[in-house]
Amino acid sequence: MATGGLTDLEQEAWRGFLLTHDRLWRALAERLASLNVSMAEYSVLNLLHEAGPDGMRMSELAERRLMSSGGFTRLADRLESRGLIERRRSAVDGRGFDATLTRSGRTLIRRARRSHHNDLRELFFDRLDDDHLRGLAEIWARLDPGSDPGADSDRDSLNTVP
């Protein structure tokens, strides 16, 4: 048995997850950096791309990015100062703010998505078959804090990190 009360198999599985996550994250971040985009910036730009021309509430973006409102505001400030997003008072209730992509933001995210998706294929998807991918999708669903471990794992609401 491994130290800390973990079995050797548990330790091997956990260590493998951490090392693989770190290697993939670093490689993907390095490749996005060549486009002058961080992983956090890419995530926000991608969410806005998926939201379409109406954009998304700032509060929802922060929530989906799992960031504090202050941390997200600083990130949005950087994106806005680079001319990639614009913020405007919400037309729905006038209290919150919506963010939308600018023309420059749309151009950048299209390039970044093509590059990032190619990188994901090379570094991750091309190394796994459909059974492996289904197994991973089931694992991620099972580990979702909001999931019911006894419930069927078929979900159409799984979030993707492109």
Q: What is the pTM of this model?
A: 0.80
CB 112 within 8 A of CB 32: yes
The 3-state DSSP class for residue 101 equals strand
CA distance to 56, 105, 124, per residue, from 89 (Å): 11, 19, 40
Task: Write the pLDDT tens digit of every residue in 91-146.
Answer: 878 788 899 999 999 999 999 999 999 999 999 999 999 999 999 999 999 999 88
Q: Domains in the chain and their CATH numbers? A: 30-143 (1.10.10.10)
Helix axes 39-51, 103-123, angle to 10 degrees: 110
- What is the pLDDT at residue 155? 42
What's the DSSP call for residue 4? G
Confidence of residue 158 (pLDDT cuts 50, 70, 90): very low
Confidence of residue 150 (pLDDT cuts 50, 70, 90): low
